[in-house]
Amino acid sequence: MAWYKRIGLFDYMVVGGSGGHLSPNYFDTIFIPGFPEDFQEKIADLYSKRNGDSGVAQLNKQRITLRRRLDAVLDDIANNKPITQKATV
């Protein structure tokens, strides 16, 4: 879909407000690649690891948590308050 947006066709295919959604009328006319099952499983594994490693979803959740903690520490520093966040590794 990013390619359709980049070349300017996306705006002609969506319906609804705030960016809308793809109209079902276009489902048969646009190319959406079909990947083999093993490739789909590799992509799913990268997105959400099931063997204890961090996948994209877990890393993003961790990034958001760390950003919130950093913002709290910076707010404490800016307001001359004692830092209430404990350092963890």
Place of tokens 């990013």: 2
Under DSSP, is residue 23 helix (H, G, I), strand (E, B) or coil?
coil
57 shares its domain with 88: yes
Of residues 19 and 39, the one with the higher pLDDT is 39
pLDDT value of position 54: 82
**What is the domain range of residue 20?**
1-32
pLDDT value of position 75: 93
27 shares its domain with 39: no
Tokens of 28: 């048969």
Could you give the number of structural domains in the chain? Answer: 2
Alpha-carbon separation of residue 60 from 48, 55, 66, 87 (angstroms)? 11, 9, 10, 20
Q: pLDDT tens across 13-34, in order?
A: 777 766 667 777 777 877 777 8
17 shares its domain with 44: no
